[in-house]
């Protein structure tokens, strides 16, 4: 089934406000709370880690409930429409704290936005797998999500530059502007989704939780893809979390934070058509493999840079931004293909569960990144608000670059001999039709 550009755009636009909200939570919120509240880096990292870990519980629940919602209620749309006002409310309070905000305040509203976001992201991702079962068309569907998500990311991260707050620890005006952006575009996305079809049949097991555990416990293409995706996501999350610190303290270029982030995500957005065409030509896994190797060849230089080598970092930003475009939609497209693998091997169709586990993995990766990076910075004595020694700045630079390469290599090794390509996928489609 080929989808029109209008349908792809209406479906994908929801990623714009969701990306704007969650990139802000990942990149700006920890820095802002560290700057205006009495909370330490370790406390902030621990709270966000705790919230993310709790969110890994809600993802499978929402996925299972979404799959079991009656079809005549438009099972995916219903959950998204319920989530929209909840995301708006939690965004307002989380993004606009007072200096007196406590750890409990941060924990409550972080939990709130994660849970509300799960209620939108998991059904949306499952919905994408249901819109078409064509191997290449699925790249266009996930590519639409990635493109609008990148546009939302670009808009959110360019606001500090527009407001002149790129080098400030007090990002209150920035966060208020992002709050308005998220709320307005969430409302618009709800209107756009009305015309996107959402009437798809599914087949569920009698014991869904037991069967879900078997998906992870037993060796399978799904477990292989999920574990490698986790490693690669951790690799991407660590430098993303530390980007503001690295640019400000190691490169001593706080004025370039906004332009560098903008350049990074522009390169990611521009690369989406390239990676889609490459995946069509050589296969999805091989395209992803190329992006991982290229990313590592750029990140290897990050620990050796300093104030006089900003131009080298600009090259790194361009190269790694380009590879990020692949990370944002090709693995998700591969996960959608595994819905058909599931149908062919078990007789079940449960995209809500598959993308719930996918979402859990994504959130766990960012939680682990913050939970690893911030305590390491504390251990080496790094102070985000003070003067740091050469040793402390060196520690920041190495933590920024080295773990990324290590986790990407783990992902690459884990995906060797991945069995699903266009030919085997076509066989799965035929087998699934026969089985069902």
The model's pLDDT over 171-194, given as tens digits with 9 standing for 90+, comes to: 788 899 999 999 999 999 999 998
Which tokens in the block code for residue 167? 């080098």
| pLDDT value for 93 | 96
The pLDDT > 90 percentage for the chain reads: 42
| Three-state SS annotation for 372-401 | HHHHHHHHCCCCCCCCCCHHHHHHHHHHHH
Considering only CA atoms, which of 354, 383, 409 is closest in space to residue 126?
Answer: 354
Query: At residue 206, what are phi and psi to the nearest 5 degrees?
Result: -70, -30
Find tokens 């808009």 and name the residue: 155
CA dist., res. 400 & res. 233, Å (int): 14
Query: At residue 106, what are phi and psi to the nearest 5 degrees?
Result: -60, -45
CA dist., res. 163 & res. 211, Å (int): 50
Query: Which of 33-37, 83-87, 215-219 is the most confident on average?
Result: 83-87
| pLDDT value for 189 | 94
Q: Radius of gyration over alpha carbons of the chain, in Å?
A: 21
| pLDDT value for 431 | 62
Largest pairwise CA distance in the chain: 67
Lowest pLDDT segment from 82-91, 149-158, 301-310, 422-431? 422-431
b/e for 268-282, b at 16 or more Cβ within 10 A? bbebbeebbebbeee
Lowest pLDDT segment from 94-103, 209-218, 266-275, 395-404? 209-218
pTM above 0.85, yes or no: no
Contact 51, 107 (CB under 8 A): yes
DSSP one-letter code for 4: P
Count the Cβ atoms, other than its own, within 10 Å of residue 4: 8
| pLDDT value for 107 | 93
Q: What is the mean pLDDT of the chain?
A: 86
CA dist., res. 412 & res. 310, Å (int): 29
Lowest pLDDT segment from 145-149, 211-215, 297-301, 394-398? 211-215
Burial class for 63, CB neighbours closer than 10 Å (0-12, 13-18, 19+): buried
């Amino acid at each position: 089934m080929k989808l029109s550009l209008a349908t792809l755009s209406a479906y994908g636009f929801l990623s714009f406000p969701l990306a704007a909200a969650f990139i802000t939570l990942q990149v700006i919120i920890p820095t802002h709370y560290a700057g205006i509240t009495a909370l330490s880096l370790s406390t902030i990292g621990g709270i966000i880690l705790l919230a993310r870990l709790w969110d890994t519980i809600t993802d499978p629940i929402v996925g299972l409930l979404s799959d079991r919602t009656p079809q005549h209620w438009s099972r995916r749309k219903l959950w998204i429409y319920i989530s929209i006002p909840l995301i708006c409310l939690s965004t307002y309070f989380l993004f606009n704290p007072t200096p007196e905000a406590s750890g409990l305040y941060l924990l409550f509203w972080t939990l709130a936005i994660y849970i509300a976001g799960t209620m939108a992201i998991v059904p949306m991702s499952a919905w994408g797998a249901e819109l078409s079962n064509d191997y290449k068309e699925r790249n266009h569907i996930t590519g639409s999500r990635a493109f609008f998500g990148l546009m939302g990311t670009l808009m959110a991260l360019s606001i500090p530059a527009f407001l002149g707050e790129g080098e400030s620890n007090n990002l209150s005006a920035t966060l208020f502007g992002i709050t308005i952006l998220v709320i307005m575009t969430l409302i618009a996305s709800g209107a756009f989704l009305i015309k996107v079809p959402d009437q798809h049949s599914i087949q569920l097991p009698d014991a869904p939780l037991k069967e879900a555990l078997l998906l992870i416990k037993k060796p399978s293409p799904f477990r292989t893809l999920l574990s490698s995706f986790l490693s690669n996501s951790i690799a991407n999350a660590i430098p993303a979390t530390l980007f503001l610190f690295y640019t400000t303290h190691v490169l001593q270029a706080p004025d370039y934070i906004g332009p560098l982030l903008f350049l990074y995500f522009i390169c990611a957005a521009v690369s989406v058509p390239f990676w889609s065409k490459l995946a069509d030509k050589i296969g999805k896994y091989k395209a992803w493999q190329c992006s991982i190797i290229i990313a590592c060849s750029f990140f290897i230089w990050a620990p050796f840079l300093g104030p006089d080598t900003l131009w080298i970092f600009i090259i790194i930003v361009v190269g790694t931004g380009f590879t990020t475009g692949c990370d944002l939609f090709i693995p998700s497209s591969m996960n959608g293909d595994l819905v058909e693998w599931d149908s062919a091997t078990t007789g079940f169709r449960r995209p809500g569960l598959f993308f719930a586990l996918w979402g859990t993995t994504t959130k766990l990766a960012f939680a682990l990144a913050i939970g690893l990076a911030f305590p390491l910075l504390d251990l080496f004595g790094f102070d985000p608000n003070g003067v740091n020694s050469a040793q402390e700045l060196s520690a920041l630079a190495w933590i920024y670059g080295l773990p990324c390469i290590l986790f990407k290599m783990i992902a690459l090794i884990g995906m060797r001999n991945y069995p699903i390509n266009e030919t085997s996928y076509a066989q799965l489609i035929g087998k699934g039709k026969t089985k069902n």
